Chains A and B, each alone.
Chain A
C-alpha cells in the first residue's frame, strides 16, 4: 500500500516541519525532501512508520529526540486516536499511580492532600481519584487538554510531572507512535535545562576544550623530510602547533541563598574533575554579587580576599562566575548596596564587577536561570553589560568555553 500524498496531508507535514524548526530542532529542507521521497516511494504506510522514518531522516542527534517526541505528540495528536482526551488522562493517572507507589509522600505534597487519607484507597480507587484531580487541573489551569506545557503549547518548558523516566529500547513495542512519543524516552539526552549531577560527565567533555592552542611554530622533522623528498629535494618545512602552558582558572560561585544551592555542588564537582587539565583552579565565593571581597571559604567569613589584589594574577587567567545574577537593583547599583553590613566598601558592586572584567579580559558568567527568562530581571540585564552571560547548561557551557578560548 502506498502512501498517497494528498494536499491536506502535505500541509500537515509542512506544518510539522516548521513546528520542529520553530522550537529549535535543526531540520534542513534537504532532509524534508528526503522524507518526501521516502513517502512517495511507499515506504511509509502508517503513523508508526512515519514517526520512525521522519525522526531518522530529519533529526540528526539524540539530543533533539526529546523535543521531536514532544512536537510529534502535539502535532499528530488525534490523528489516529479520536478518544485521545480520555486516553491522555488514563496515561497520566497511571503515571501518577506509579509515582505514588514510589514515593507517596512527595506526590501527596504536590497535590496538597493528606497522605493517610489516600493510603486507604485501593489502586483502582486511586486511579479514579487521580483522574478526577487531573480533570479539575486541566479545566482550571489550562483551559484545554494539551498535556504538554501549561496554559498553552510550550514543548521546551516544564512538561508536567512525569516520573516515568526514560524507556530503554531493545524491546519491540506495540504502542502507537503518539503514545511512544508521549513516553519521552529521550528526555535524558536532551541538553537544554540547567546542569544536573547526571550531566556532569557530558559537561566535562565540553570543559575539556578549555585547553590553549599555541601558534604553529614547532618544526615537525619527520613530516618535513617526507615533504621535502616528495618535492624532489626542494626544502619544504612543516610546522606543528606548539603546546602552550595549561590554563589558570578562577571560579567564583554565588553560594548565598537557596536559589543557588543545587548548582554550587555541581559546578564544584565539574571543576574538581577537570582540575588536572588546568594549571591552577582557584575557587571563591560571594553572595548575590561581588563587592570589595571574594571569599575562599564557603561560609564567606574566614578568608576574604580583596579584589584589588586580583591584579597580581596573570591577566590571561580565565574568570568564571557562577550565579543567578538576580537581586534587588540597589544591591548592584548603590554604593552601600551589600546586604551584609561588614561589606560596606563605598563602591557600588557594578564597579567592582567592571574592575574584575577589566582585570581578566577572558571571563564569563554562567547563569542557571534559562536564557529566555533573562530579560525579566533588571540586574541580569545590568550584569550582562559587563560579563558575557551563558546558561549553566551543556549547550551554554559549550558556548562559554568557545568564548573563553577566543583569540
Chain B
C-alpha cells in the first residue's frame, strides 16, 4: 500500500550533502509512513535534513520547536478567547462572535494536518518536553486526527505529513515512543566533511588556517573526560575569533599554542582540563 502520488524519492537537496545510508532511511520511513527519529550531537545537521527534504521534494516545511513548558494542545490548536472577547465588546471585525470556530487557530501539527498538500513536519528537539507530551503527541500523529474540544470537531489529516523528529538527548526516549518511529543516529562529521562545512561558512579562509584549526579542533575533541565536547558551532566561532585577532599566526596552532580556548570549552572544569592539556603539550 504505497501512496504513489506522494512525489518521488528523496535524493538530497542542492546545498545539503547527504550520505547514502541516511537517504535510504528517509525513503523507507516515507514509504512506511512512519516518523523518523534523528539523534546525534549538536552540529551534525539534524535540523538541516528536514529543510533539505522539504526542498528536494518541493513540499512546504512546518517546524515545531519544542519547548520544555509546551503542552500538546499548543502544538495542535489555540482558542483565541481574548480576540473573541474583544470582538464581542466592540464588534467591528468580520468575524462572527457566535461562531467559536472563527477563533480557533491551528498550531503547527494542526497546520500540517489541514494543509492541502503533503508537508514535511519537523519536530525539533523533542527531548526538551516531558515524556507525557512525547507519548501523547505520537498518539495524535499515529491516528492522524485530534479533537477541538471547544467546538466538538475532529480534525483529521488529508495527507500524512513526512515527519522528522530530532533529539539531542543521549538518554533514550520512552519505549512506546521509540516503537512508533524509525531511528537513525547521525555521527559527528569527519575532518573532510568539516572542511566542506567550514568552507561554506568562510569562503575566504586561507588553507593553512583551515587545516591547522580543523586538526587542532579534532585533537581537542579527543581529550578525555570532557563533559561537553566542542561541536561545529564552537569551531566556527573559534575560527571567527582567530581571524579577528591581528596578532594571530596559523603556525601557532601547529606548535600547540591554542588561544581562545574558552570559545571551544564552555564548562569551567572542561576549560581547565583543556588548558592543562595544552600547557602540558607546550612544555614537552
Stretch at the interface among B72-80, B200-208, B222-230, B247-255: B222-230
Residues 220-238 of B at the A interface (beta carbon under 8 Å): 224-229
Determine, out of B89-97, B156-164, B183-191, the stretch whose residues face the partner at the interface: B183-191
Q: Which of A170-178, A284-292, A299-307, A319-327 contacts B (4 or more CB under 8 A)?
A: A170-178
Question: Using Cβ atoms and an 8 Å threshold, which residues of chain B touch A166?
Answer: 187
- Residue A31 at the chain B interface, CB threshold 8 Å: yes
Of B39, B182, B188, B225, the residue contacting A57 (CB under 8 A) is B182
Q: Which of these, A28, A37, A52, A65, contacts B25 with CB under 8 Å? A: A52
**In the complex, which of the residues A63, A169, A197 contacts B225, with contact meaning CB atoms closer than 8 Å?**
A197
In the bound assembly, the distance between CA atoms of A311 and B184 in angstroms comes to 51
Q: Report if B32 contacts A (CB, 8 A).
A: yes
Please tell me which one of the listed residues B24, B181, B190 contacts residue A170 in the complex, with CB atoms under 8 A apart.
B190
Which one of A38, A63, A201, A266 contacts B226 once the chains associate, using CB atoms below 8 Å?
A201
Check B21 against A197 for contact (C-beta < 8 Å): no
Contact of B189 among A34, A41, A167, A168 (CB under 8 A): A168
Supposing A52-B21, A53-B28 touch, asked if A168 and B171 sit within 8 A by C-beta, the answer is no
B21 to A173, Cβ gap below 8 A? yes
Let me know if A53 and B193 touch, CB within 8 A.
no
Indicate whether A171 sits within 8 Å of B190 (C-beta atoms), given known contacts A56-B183, A60-B178, A198-B224.
Answer: yes
Residues of A within 8 A of B39 (CB): 61-62
Q: Is A15 an interface residue (CB 8 A)?
A: no
Contact with B along A266-301 (1 / 0, CB 8 A): 100100110000000000000000000000000000
Contact A201 B183 (CB under 8 A): no
Distance between B235 CB and nearest chain A CB, rounded to angstroms: 15
A205 adjacent to B170 (CB under 8 Å): yes
Give bound CA distance, A175 to B284, whole Å.
41
Contact surface of B with A, Cβ cutoff 8 Å: 1-2, 17, 19-22, 24-25, 27-29, 31-32, 34, 36-37, 39, 170-172, 175, 178-179, 181-190, 192-193, 224-229, 269
| A residues at B contact (CB < 8 Å) | 26, 28, 30-31, 34, 37-38, 41, 43, 49, 52-53, 56-57, 59-63, 65, 166-173, 185-186, 189, 196-198, 200-202, 204-205, 266, 269, 272-273
